[in-house]
Chains A and B, each alone.
Chain A
Amino acid sequence: DAGVTQSPTHLIKTRGQHVTLRCSPISGHKSVSWYQQVLGQGPQFIFQYYEKEERGRGNFPDRFSARQFPNYSSELNVNALLLGDSALYLCASRQLPYGGQETQYFGPGTRLLVL
Chain B
Amino acid sequence: GENVEQHPSTLSVQEGDSAVIKCTYSDSASNYFPWYKQELGKRPQLIIDIRSNVGEKKDQRIAVTLNKTAKHFSLHITETQPEDSAVYFCAASKGSSASKIIFGSGTRLSIRP
Which residues of A come within 8 Å of B, CB atoms? 31, 33, 40-45, 48, 50, 55-56, 58, 90, 92, 94, 97-100, 102-109
Cβ-defined contact, B49 with A103, below 8 A: yes
With A102-B32, A105-B46, A107-B43 as contacts: A56 and B99 at CB distance below 8 Å: yes
- The reply to whether A55 and B103 form a contact with Cβ atoms under 8 Å apart is no
Chain A residue nearest to B103 in the complex (CB): A42
Could you say which of A42, A99, A100, A106 contacts B104, with CB atoms under 8 Å apart?
A: A42
- Cα(A102)–Cα(B47), bound, Å: 14
Contact check, B43 vs A109: say whether CB atoms are below 8 A apart: yes
The smallest C-beta distance from B44 to any residue of chain A, in angstroms, reads: 5
Is A33 within 8 A of B95, CB to CB?
no
Question: A97 CB to closest chain B CB, in angstroms?
Answer: 5
B13 within 8 A of A: no
Contact B49 A43 (CB under 8 A): no
Q: Which residues of A contact B32 (CB under 8 A)?
A: 102
- Given that A41-B105, A42-B89, A42-B106 are known contacts, is A33 also in contact with B46, CB under 8 Å in the complex? no
Cα distance, A108 to B49, chains bound together (Å) = 20
Judging by beta carbons under 8 Å apart, are B95 and A48 in contact? no
Q: Which parts of B41-57 form the interface with A (CB within 8 Å)?
A: 42-46, 49, 51
Contact present for B100 and A56 (CB under 8 Å): yes
Which residues of B (70-113) have their CB < 8 Å from a CB of A?
89, 91, 93, 95-106
